[in-house]
Amino acid sequence: MGERPLVAVLDYGSGNVHSAVKALIAAGADARLTADRGLVREAAGLVVPGVGAFEAVARALRAQRGDELIERRLAGGLPVLGICVGMQVLFEHGVERGVDTEGLAQWPGAVTELDAPVLPHMGWNTVRAGDDSRLFRGIADERFYFVHSYGAQHWSLEATGPFRAPVLTWCDYGTPFLAAVENGPLSATQFHPEKSGDAGIRLLSNWIETLPGSR
């Protein structure tokens, strides 16, 4: 087995991050919770967790200049993985309880409330993995753990030039929403892989295998 790739878990004040660190270690990474800008830039992978409200997460990320760190890594083709609200803030904006908040705008579109009879969407659910998904290799039929009331329900970004088309994975809860996106170096999951048992560890392992220096 080769050397474990360094994965930085961005520490910007979002709660419940230690379970993500533990899951990444179990999946084969040298995972470290850090706000050190040099370490975040140099790591093979960056994980951006997020729990709570879109507006609070977006504000906290910008306060730590996390938006700049993400932008710089992506400009260099270095992998980033967003989780839960860490996925949502990658879109242009989020609308929660009538408040429209500017996101990081890595992807076009809005995060809005799910049209479902009961919210939040909490518990285990299946997904419809996109064709040629790397994240869901070998686990497309597994169940994953969700806890959220908002999601990205539309996708409008198309592939351009020589780039691989974005791989979209959907889930149904009242209405279809994006459960995961794989778009070049930027990937994200709406569910919590760190709370999804063996399937979540496998998904993180699949992501780790795409990192620079991994086998």
Report, as residue numbers or ranges, the catalytic residues. Answer: 84, 192, 194
Q: What gap in Å lies between CA 48 and CA 79, rounded to an integer?
A: 11
With residue 99 as reference, give the H or E element that holds it: strand 99-102
Q: How far apart are CA 4 and CA 62, in angstroms?
A: 30
Asked whether 96 and 52 are in contact (CB, 8 A), the reply is: no
Beta bridge partners of 171: 177
Which three-class secondary structure state does DSSP give residue 171?
A: strand
Can you tell me the distance from the alpha carbon of 100 to that of 98, in angstroms, rounded to the nearest whole number? 6
Closest CA to 45 of 5, 90, 85: 5
State whether the Cα torsion 194-200-210-22 is positive or negative: positive
Give the C-alpha separation, 55 to 102, whole Å: 8
